[in-house]
A and B are shown apart, each in its own frame.
Chain A
Amino acid sequence: MNAIHIEGLRKSYGREEVLRGVNLDVREGEFYALMGPNGSGKTTLLSILASTLLPSSGTIEIYGRKPQQARELVGYVPQSNFTIPNLTGRENLIYFASVLGYSRSESARLADDLLEKVGLSADAKKRVSAYSGGMRKRLEAATALFPGIKVMLLDEPTTGLDPSARRMFLGLLQDLKGEATSILLVTHLGSDAEIASKVGLIDGGRMIAQGEPEELRALSGLRNVISIETAAKSQRAVEALKPFSENGRVLETDVGYRVYSRDQEKATPEIVRALDRAGARVVKVESATPSLEDVFFKMTGRSVSGSV
């Protein structure tokens, strides 16, 4: 059974079309990651599912119902920090439980259960303003875990988190994987999307491809990637790397570049020499498994993190 069914979804703001006929299905219990760069329409899609935005046209169903009629099934976690900083974590959950119609005692019991589930029991009585980014995000995820919620919608939940908090949050999502809750996560980070059972790639308001991570890697034709870490990045270095990469495309990362070459053994020493000639000091060169960011880059020619 499909938890989410989207067919021909379009959304325009004035003359600008943000979603251009998106089709997407999330099966019951599935963890689906929708990956795309900023401005690709993924947050708009999530907002429509959360019924905070209305679609221009298309079919959108959550368990066979229109989003506004299925709000009790949806746990939406917007990208912004929506919890109330002057209340404690427990008070926040009690408030959101009350909005769902739970009694005072039920709300308190649920709040305690959920705080334990997301690992915040010890900080239940601290005001949210004293929480770290990771703690706050886990609290926000807890608001999407009340009983009866069958679809969890997460908008860029790891943005702004430090690596440790990010790993902890992704661990929480992995724990939820396989439970009855279906998860739709939107992200521009390939590493976040890797933990999903199915991934959709979206660009310019259109779905580019969808499937399991391995299927997408196979679909892209990428086998190996040369990952290069440099002391500094420059346009000269990019130009020096272009001849070594398929279609002349070089993905720029936080620490350097990724090059898609068929013959890595031959290319690697030549790449080091070329970068040396271009004045770029090479810190590390290694062969890497293609990431979903590589797949996206290969398919669209655009970086999903927008750093090219």
Chain B
Amino acid sequence: MGQVTGGLERSAKELIRLKESLFWTIAWPSIWVLLSGAIFVKGIPEDVLPVVKGSMTVPMMVFALMIAGMSNLPATVSTDRERGTLAKLMSMPASPWRDFLGRVLGLLCFSALAVVLVGLVGYATGARFRLSAAEVLLALGFLLVGFTASAGIGSVIASLVKNVQGAIMTGVGLSVITAAISGVMAPYSALPASLQSFARIYPISSVNSAIIYVLFGEEYSGYTPLTVAQVASTVATSIGILAVGIILYTKIAWRRR
């Protein structure tokens, strides 16, 4: 079985059974999908309504990824620290790298479930997506990049913020604020120029725009995020953040004083 698969199973089960993570990662984005589908669609012609609803569902799927990586991951790590699970693991012949990999893979399973459920809620409210095989694969690839960045930021929070409440609040706060100012929770076109620049650099909002662009076109993404430079920068930044997160996790969270 090994530490990685054991950690994966443990992490996925723990998150699925935790009411708080179910609420923040699945219920909350779903509620937003329901609300936005009911409130922000007045005056929109019927023929484009499914696409508009679709373009409002995608950001909430991305937001679910943000909460999963940036809040759930630090919450589980800091809970492990507070209740002594981490000390127990450190006393065993366990590898911090394998522990990290198990946690992140478990989180990936939970995030995938969250994204699918939020997407289904959108679908149930009338959202429709362009779903050719190539576009779906591209969108999934971008979701994976978004997950990488979220998990990276979450690992940094998990390593630096020691207590559970602090870790959760930092994760949720950072998710909400960065989502609000980077075009995840508001249309890119509505952002001031300085924040539009940030939205292009911030990997998660870049991923969000890229998926919307792929599934609905530039009219809904507000710009063309699928340039070689932006995609390369988004992928590189996401991997870089995750790398920093892994190093901090193995060096700080597992540090023996």
Chain A residues proximal to chain B, CB less than 8 Å? 47, 50-54, 71-72, 74, 76, 78-84, 86-87, 91, 94-104, 106-107, 127, 143, 153
Contacts and interface: CB of A to CB of B under 8 A. Distances in A.
B18 A78 contact: no
B232 to A, nearest CB: 38
Contacts of A95: 6-7, 9-10
Contacts of B14: 84, 86-87
A70 to B, nearest CB: 9
Contact of B92 (A83, A86, A94, A96): A96
Given A94-B6, A99-B3, A71 B91 contact: yes
B4 to A, nearest CB: 9
Contacts of A101: 2-3, 93
A78 B92 contact: no
A74 to B, nearest CB: 6
Interface size range on B against A: 20 to 34
Contact of B257 (A53, A78, A84): A53
B93 A86 contact: no
Given A52-B256, A86-B13, A99-B6, A81 B92 contact: no
A71 B92 contact: yes
Nearest to A11: B257
A52 B10 contact: no
Contact of A99 (B18, B84, B89): B89
A86 B18 contact: yes
B154 to A, nearest CB: 19
B91 A107 contact: no
B93 A78 contact: no
Contacts of B10: 84, 87, 91, 95
A105 to B, nearest CB: 8
23 contacts: A47-B87, A50-B91, A52-B91, A53-B257, A54-B256, A76-B91, A78-B87, A81-B83, A84-B14, A86-B13, A86-B14, A86-B18, A87-B17, A91-B13, A94-B9, A96-B88, A97-B1, A98-B1, A98-B3, A100-B92, A102-B1, A103-B2, A107-B1
B94 A99 contact: yes
Nearest to A49: B91
B83 A51 contact: no
B17 A143 contact: no
B5 interface: yes
Given A87-B14, A91-B13, A97-B6, 5 more contacts: A47-B87, A71-B92, A74-B92, A84-B10, A104-B5
A153 B1 CA distance: 26
Contact of A81 (B3, B9, B84): B84
Given A53-B257, A82-B84, A98-B1, A107 B6 contact: yes
A100 B84 contact: no
Contacts of A83: 85
